[in-house]
Amino acid sequence: MKIKWVLLAILSALVHVLSGCDRLAVLDPKGPQAQTQANVIWLSIAIMAVIVIIVCVFLVYVLAKYRDDKLPKDYEPPYIEGNHVVESIIVGVPILIVIFFSVVSVISNNKVEATPEEYKGQDPLVIYASTSDWKWHFSYPENDIETVNYLYIPTNRPLEFKLYSFGPITSFWVPQLGGQKYAMSNMVTTLHLAADESGEMMGRNANFSGKGFAENMFHVEAVSQDKFDEWVKEVKATAKPITEEKFNQLLKPGHTGQLTFTGTHLGFSPAPEGENAGHHHGSSNSDANSKGDHMEHDHKTNDGNEKPEHNHE
């Protein structure tokens, strides 16, 4: 009876706790890569649940069948060298589980590292995603646009992110689109993603990188291709160009709001790939001449500080 009440109490507590929780982002995929990873997570949960249930059932059975009060007072257990069947099970089953998950991991990793199957053959939208303390810089070479701390992407089109850092190692992660991948200062790593649904998502740096790490997040909005094209036209009509002087200011440690510029920093501060690979990108050059007023398309408060367009807290 005591066991029954304990189990009921645990079940009741789980129901109350889980009923107040939002759905986990990694289990609410908005793209094919994230869907693959969610499927692997659910598969792992199911297999582990089956194993735990079987072990618990055997444990209860053994405790009930071989409890001490059912045996004679003078009972002495016989000497047994071993049971080959039991030993084969307790060694063989874990080996089979490890082999199974190894195969699943290799297949799923190869799948999420490549362009999504349904988007192969399409030209990807290439976005250079770089970080500095503690900001995200997104450069769109195809559209000649750059944003800070927010990402605007079209749905139903492959996305190819080129990741690198102007400071410590960071990790680009949008849980509803796919897994995280490191961004480092002297090399470019590539991450293939895609969004199947329109909507707003949250991305962040998933690698500790100093005291500003907790707020090193960015907003993601996925829209249809038509709306994305409209956004590009609006930015080109209203935003001011990014200058080297302004970009060097942004590289200094600190937080800022969401900013939008025409042009990209790739012209005067190229990514560490090709002939630029291996160059030091952890510091900025402040002696360059500014080629114009560094005005940006953003929201500011009366005291001149940037005010983010979205509240991420």
Residue 82: pLDDT above 70?
yes
Residue 74's pLDDT is 79
- Alpha carbon of 55 to those of 24, 64, 168, 182: distances in Å? 28, 14, 45, 38
Give percent of the chain above pLDDT 90.
53
Domain ranges in the chain with CATH number 2.60.40.420: 121-268
Rg (CA), the chain: 27
Q: How confident is residue 2, by pLDDT bands cut at 50, 70 and 90?
A: low
Strand partners, 152: 221
> Six-digit token pair at 42?
């659910």
* More confidently predicted of 18 and 247: 247
∠ CA 313-230-238, nearest 5°, is 75
User: Which of 109-123, 218-232, 291-305 is the most confident on average?
Assistant: 218-232
Q: What is the DSSP letter of 6?
A: H
pLDDT digits (tens, 9 = 90+) for 282-301: 444 434 333 334 334 444 33
- Alpha carbon of 222 to those of 146, 201, 262, 269, 278: distances in Å? 16, 8, 20, 28, 33
Mean pLDDT of the chain: 82
pLDDT digits (tens, 9 = 90+) for 264-277: 999 999 998 776 66
pLDDT digits (tens, 9 = 90+) for 139-164: 999 999 999 999 999 999 999 999 99
Residue 85's pLDDT is 86
- CATH code of domain 121-268: 2.60.40.420
Residue 8's pLDDT is 63
Q: Is the pTM of this model over 0.85?
A: no
Residue 41: pLDDT above 70?
yes
